[in-house]
């Protein structure tokens, strides 16, 4: 069997892949949202936080520098010149740090800030402060870079003027020490003037740094809001993706099971039902290219063979039926010929037999004194044989008439028990001789009328009782009963005779049939009596049945319909 190209397993895998795609869609929404959240969070943690920290460091450096300058420019005692120098050094150190921080913001990285350093002085200060590698500043945007660069310019103004103020202050202290009051005052004024300028630049620098912090705060706020939006979007998108994916999975699963499993099975069921109901040309038409198609192909192959066999069988049956019909017709023809022959033969035989009977009767009755005992015995045997032959011929004539439908019935209302009683009188003597207990259970009340031909019913009763007498051994018993069963008169003749073998029961009413044990017991007999009896009873609308057990006896049952007022059967 060739494996199908798109088997159910392959289709199932495709279905699972499809479901996986739907689920991946939901998963993608989750990962995309997480990625965006990570991106937004990194803006805050990786960029804005170091950025603000850098600004704070720059501001701190500037404030320290400014404090140093303010302290230095407050020095009024020439003895504190060394202190002034020390504050000046502090100021310069902070300057270098400030420049480094601003450079880091302006140029976007620590490395670029080092490259931009003032001949390594900034780098040295940076390194000395233990800040190397600790400050990470992402590339600034245009506005941030502008603000940082402007802050740098303003800070230079601050530095230049502080330096001028320091120089003027040093000059002032020298002149004061030299007791040059006028020059000292002028130098002090220059110092204060430069300090004022420095303060204004310091304010400008601080203002720019605050603006940078504001910008950064705004960016942080925007990022935080963006994160909230992303979170909501992720929840919404994921929910929708899951719902849509779930619905799609249900629908696709339903369509899959409908198309791939249910429809082929239903199609195959319909085809099988149609085929089973006799539509032998019905075939499965499944083109699913999977196992169901293989099954359909196998079914079609089987159907082809069954149809072929069935068609052949039908033709054979028709042929045999025709042969049987023809044979039956020929048999009927032969039977008719035989019946005609028997009828003709019987009629032709009865006349000479009647003549013989008459002659033998004369010899027996009138010439008996003239006959020797031996002659007399021969005449009696001849008369007896002649009597049997006449009876046989009569029975054959009856059968012929029955079969040809020419037997006449004269229906009259009668009591069946009267006919039974009269018939049994004929057998009383014989029963007595053979010590057979012949009884008639006469009903206490009359059964009522039946519409029947009294002679024919008498013939039936005579036949049945005669049979019982013949096949019941001496000392046995024969019981005749007559009862009414609703609207039927039921007459039974039960004997304790030899019984009928089971194998021969079906043939017991056939013409010329005699059971083996009956033939063995009494060779004489035509085998026509029961056929005639059954035919007569059926002509009366009744039934003749029997029950028998070998060695125990036989009971014949006659059931005749009771007569209804006004009924008049004619035949």
Site residues (vs other proteins, CB under 8 A) = 25, 29, 32, 36, 39-40, 43, 47, 106-108, 112, 115-116, 138-142, 144-146, 149-150, 152-157, 160-161, 197, 200-201, 204, 219, 222-223, 226, 229-230, 233, 237, 240-241, 244, 247-248, 251-252, 254-255, 258-259, 263, 266
Length in residues, the chain:
571
Name which of 54 and 106 has its Cβ closer to other proteins: 106
Rounded to a whole number of angstroms, the minimum distance from the CB of residue 210 to other proteins is 15
Smallest distance from other proteins to CB 7, Å = 21
Burial bucket for residue 456 (CB in 10 Å: 0-12, 13-18, 19+): buried
**Which residues does residue 437 pair with via DSSP β-bridges, in sequence order?**
477
Query: Measured from the CB atom, is 80 or 226 closer to other proteins?
Result: 226
What is the Cα–Cα distance from 139 to 383, expressed in whole angstroms? 153
Nearer to other proteins, 32 or 85 (CB): 32
Least CB distance from residue 291 to other proteins, whole Å?
20
The dihedral over CA atoms of 123, 125, 130, 134, expressed in degrees to the nearest 10, equals -50
Q: Closest separation between CB of residue 240 and other proteins, Å?
A: 7
Smallest distance from other proteins to CB 245, Å: 8
Q: How far is the CB of 32 from other proteins (least distance, A)?
A: 7
Nearest to 483 by CA among 420, 530, 438, 436: 420
Cβ proximity to other proteins: between 141 and 333 the closer is 141
Nearer to other proteins, 154 or 411 (CB): 154
Task: Report helix, strand or coil for 437.
Answer: strand
- What are the two backbone dihedrals, phi and then psi, of residue 552, each rounded to the nearest 5 degrees? -110, -30
Pick the closer one to other proteins by CB: 103 or 399: 103
Look up residue 215 and give its two tokens. 């910008």
Q: How far is the CB of 169 from other proteins (least distance, A)?
A: 19
Q: Toward other proteins, which CB reaches closer, 158 or 556?
A: 158
Torsion, Cα 61 65 66 70, to 10 degrees, reads 150
Of 457, 478, 458, 456, the residue nearest 468 (C-alpha):
478
The span from the CA of 39 to the CA of 30, in Å, is: 14
* Pairwise CA distance, residues 522 & 505, whole Å: 18
Instruction: Residue 145: count other Cβ atoms within 10 Å of its Cβ.
Output: 16
Please, which residue, 36 or 127, has the CB nearer to other proteins?
36
Shortest distance, position 154 Cβ to other proteins, whole Å? 6
With b for 16 or more beta-carbon neighbours within 10 A and e for fewer, the 337-348 pattern comes to: eebeebbeebee
């Amino acid at each position: 069997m060739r494996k199908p190209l798109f088997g159910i397993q392959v289709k199932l895998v495709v279905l699972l892949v499809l479901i996986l795609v739907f689920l991946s869609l939901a998963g993608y929404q989750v990962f995309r949202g997480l990625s965006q959240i990570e991106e937004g969070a990194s803006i805050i943690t990786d960029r804005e936080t170091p950025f603000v920290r850098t600004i704070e460091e720059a501001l701190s450096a500037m404030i320290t520098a400014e404090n140093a300058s303010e302290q230095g420019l407050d020095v009024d005692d020439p003895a504190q010149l060394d202190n002034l120098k020390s504050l000046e050094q502090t100021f310069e150190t902070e300057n270098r740090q400030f420049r480094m921080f601003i450079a880091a913001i302006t140029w976007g990285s620590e490395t670029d800030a080092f490259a931009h350093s003032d001949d390594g002085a900034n780098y040295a200060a940076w390194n000395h402060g233990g800040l190397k590698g600790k400050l990470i500043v992402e590339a600034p945007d245009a506005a941030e870079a502008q603000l940082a660069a402007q802050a740098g310019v303003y800070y230079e103004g601050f530095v230049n003027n502080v330096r001028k103020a320091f120089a003027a202050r040093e000059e002032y202290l020298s002149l004061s020490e030299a007791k040059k009051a006028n020059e000292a005052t002028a130098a002090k004024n220059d110092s204060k003037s430069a300090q004022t300028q420095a303060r204004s630049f310091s304010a400008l620098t601080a203002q720019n740094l605050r603006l940078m912090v504001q910008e950064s705060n705004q960016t942080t706020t925007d990022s935080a809001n963006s994160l909230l939006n992303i979170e909501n979007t992720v929840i919404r998108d994921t929910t929708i993706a899951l719902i849509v994916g779930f619905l799609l999975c249900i629908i696709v699963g339903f369509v899959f099971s409908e198309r791939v499993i249910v429809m082929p099975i239903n199609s195959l069921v319909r085809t099988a039902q149609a085929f089973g109901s006799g539509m032998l040309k019905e075939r499965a038409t499944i083109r699913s290219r999977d196992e169901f198609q293989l099954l359909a192909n196998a079914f079609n192959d089987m159907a082809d063979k069954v149809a072929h066999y069935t068609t052949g069988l039908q033709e054979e049956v028709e042929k045999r039926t025709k042969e049987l019909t023809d044979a039956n017709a020929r048999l009927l023809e032969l039977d008719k010929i035989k019946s005609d022959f028997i009828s003709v033969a019987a009629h032709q035989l009865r006349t000479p037999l009647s003549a013989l009977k008459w002659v033998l009767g004369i010899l027996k009755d009138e010439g008996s004194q003239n006959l020797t005992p031996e002659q007399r015995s021969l005449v009696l045997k001849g008369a007896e044989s002649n009597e049997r032959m006449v009876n046989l011929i009569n029975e054959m004539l009856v059968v012929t008439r029955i079969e040809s439908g020419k037997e006449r019935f004269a229906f009259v209302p009668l009591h069946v028990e009267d006919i039974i009683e009269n018939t049994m009188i004929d057998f009383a003597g014989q029963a007595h001789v053979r010590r057979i207990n012949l009884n008639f259970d006469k009903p206490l009340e009359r059964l009522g009328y039946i519409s029947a031909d009294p002679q024919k019913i008498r013939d039936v009763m005579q036949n049945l009782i005669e049979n019982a007498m013949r096949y019941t051994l001496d000392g046995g018993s024969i019981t005749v009963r007559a009862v009414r069963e609703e609207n039927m008169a039921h007459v039974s003749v039960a004997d304790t005779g030899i019984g009928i073998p089971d194998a021969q029961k079906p043939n017991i009413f056939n013409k010329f049939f005699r059971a083996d044990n009956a033939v063995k017991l009494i060779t004489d007999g035509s085998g026509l009596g029961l056929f005639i009896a059954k035919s007569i009873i059926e002509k009366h609308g009744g039934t003749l049945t029997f029950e028998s057990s070998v060695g125990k006896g036989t009971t014949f049952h006659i059931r005749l319909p009771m007569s209804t007022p006004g009924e008049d059967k004619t035949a």
